[in-house]
A = this chain, B = another copy of it.
Amino acid sequence: MAGSAWGRYFRVMTFGESHGPALGAVIDGCPPGLSLDQALLQQDLDRRRPGQSGVTTPRSEPDRVEVLSGLFEGKTTGTPIAMVIYNQDADPAAYDHLREVFRPGHGDLAYFLKYGTRDHRGGGRASGRETAARVAAGAVARAFLAEHGVRVIAGTIQVGSVVARSRDWDEVERNVMRAPESEAAELMEALVNELKEEGDSAGGVIEVLARGVPAGLGEPVFGKLDADLAGALMSIGAVKGVEIGDGFETASRRGSENADPIFSDGEGKVRTRFNRAGGILAGISTGEDIIARIAVKPTSSIGLEQQTIDRQGRSAPLEIRGRHDPCLCPRIVPVAEAMVLIVLADHLLAQRAKTGIPGPAGSLPPPPLEK
């Protein structure tokens, strides 16, 4: 309960620091009998891995995941699945110049104030490196959800002022920005490279899509599906905002503009015309696509000089050396997917606990034929 675990039914606890021996995740509650292909786990980790392209940090980590428990003859046993990723290219010496100063925009100062102690080596637990453990856990959730027809994918839809105008989700893995539109991807990449050259960095927006989610997931009041998604996504470092469906746009609409008629598609499936709600009404999935967007701030580690203070409280100018991503979006994409996968797996089990069915307990007849 102390902050490093997520989920009630599909429970994920992670551990590990950026420059310690290893990172990892333990999943308690994964159903038994699930086929788990370690190559598929690795595939997700490879997408988050540093050093993939010019727009990511050059730190070189194979991020090889080892499954230590919960798997027998290729299938989950129902007991905790522990996964560990040993750090290989940790370079704590590169952080020696940070031992005495606090980097602006980072957790350095907040962690020091919180704990009265400090692991200055690359952010310790606050480093983006902790997300490797999330991705490992998310990959297990992905395997579980795939069996129930659920697919989750994310993409970079904005970097700086460049905004993707369309969504071709198959495009995402074809460009280094992980944008769902090739043209926008090129402009984004050019912008990031330009900023990188200047010692600067770029923010952006990521959209996550969950397709095939059965209606009925989510709990009333505090355990709403969108509440859990918002918490899970906001828990990713550098994320400063979350919206579901039409999000902040709805604030300037009137009710009649935001209305979304319900209709039956003629085959017993109930639909909403515009899916303005992003697949969630009153905190419960409707069966429509779930859509969430997150705001990612520009990387705080920049080469340009910033003002800060040191541990004696003295002001200290700082130029951050070391290896950093000029734009975090491409690598946060798989992390955002992982968090959505974990949340959905958790809620699918919650619904199954309550009703025995991992989906809707109620159903509607198809509309009567009309003459």
Which residues in B have their C-beta under 8 angstroms from that of A300?
255, 258-259
| A4 close to B28 (CB less than 8 A) | yes
Which residues in B have their C-beta under 8 angstroms from that of A227?
231-232, 234-235
| Distance, CA A273 to CA B105, complexed state (A) | 11
Known A-B contacts A353-B353, A365-B313; the reply to A307 vs B261 at CB < 8 A is yes
> Residue of B at shortest CB range from A195?
B254
| B222 close to A350 (CB less than 8 A) | no
Which residues in B have their C-beta under 8 angstroms from that of A28?
1-5, 13, 15
Residue with the highest number of chain B CB atoms closer than 10 Å, among A84, A227, A270: A227
Interface residues of A in 125-143 (CB under 8 A from B): 125-126, 130
Q: In angstroms, how far is the closest chain B Cβ from the Cβ of A273?
A: 8
| Distance, CA A200 to CA B59, complexed state (A) | 55
| B68 close to A21 (CB less than 8 A) | yes
| A309 close to B264 (CB less than 8 A) | yes
| Distance, CA A285 to CA B23, complexed state (A) | 25
Q: In angstroms, how far is the closest chain B Cβ from the Cβ of A323?
A: 15
| Distance, CA A134 to CA B9, complexed state (A) | 22
> Residue of B at shortest CB range from A353?
B353
Interface residues of A in 199-236 (CB under 8 A from B): 200-205, 215-224, 226-235
Query: Which segment, of A48-56, A166-174, A177-185, A291-299, faces chain B?
Result: A291-299
Interface residues of A in 270-311 (CB under 8 A from B): 270, 272-273, 277-278, 280-287, 295-302, 304, 306-309, 311
| B200 close to A32 (CB less than 8 A) | no
Interface assignment of A155: CB less than 8 Å from any CB of chain B: no
Please tell me which one of the listed residues B26, B84, B123, B281 contacts residue A107 in the complex, with CB atoms under 8 A apart. B281
Which residues in B have their C-beta under 8 angstroms from that of A58?
none
Which residues in B have their C-beta under 8 angstroms from that of A21?
66-69
| B13 close to A263 (CB less than 8 A) | no
| A17 close to B69 (CB less than 8 A) | yes
Q: In angstroms, how far is the closest chain B Cβ from the Cβ of A93?
A: 15
> Residue of B at shortest CB range from A201?
B255
Residue with the highest number of chain B CB atoms closer than 10 Å, among A79, A223, A230: A79
| Distance, CA A70 to CA B221, complexed state (A) | 13
Which residues in B have their C-beta under 8 angstroms from that of A322?
none
Interface residues of A in 30-88 (CB under 8 A from B): 31-33, 66-72, 75, 77-82, 84
| B1 close to A8 (CB less than 8 A) | yes
| Distance, CA A297 to CA B251, complexed state (A) | 5
Which residues in B have their C-beta under 8 angstroms from that of A107?
281-284
Q: In angstroms, how far is the closest chain B Cβ from the Cβ of A280?
A: 8
| A216 close to B113 (CB less than 8 A) | yes
| B110 close to A286 (CB less than 8 A) | yes
| Distance, CA A200 to CA B259, complexed state (A) | 10
Q: In angstroms, how far is the closest chain B Cβ from the Cβ of A46?
A: 22
Which residues in B have their C-beta under 8 angstroms from that of A84?
68, 84
| B350 close to A15 (CB less than 8 A) | no
Interface assignment of A334: CB less than 8 Å from any CB of chain B: no
Please tell me which one of the listed residues B104, B160, B367 contacts residue A312 in the complex, with CB atoms under 8 A apart. B367
Interface assignment of A253: CB less than 8 Å from any CB of chain B: yes
Interface assignment of A95: CB less than 8 Å from any CB of chain B: no
| B244 close to A240 (CB less than 8 A) | yes
| Distance, CA A6 to CA B228, complexed state (A) | 11
> Residue of B at shortest CB range from A348?
B353
Which residues in B have their C-beta under 8 angstroms from that of A298?
250, 253-255, 257-258
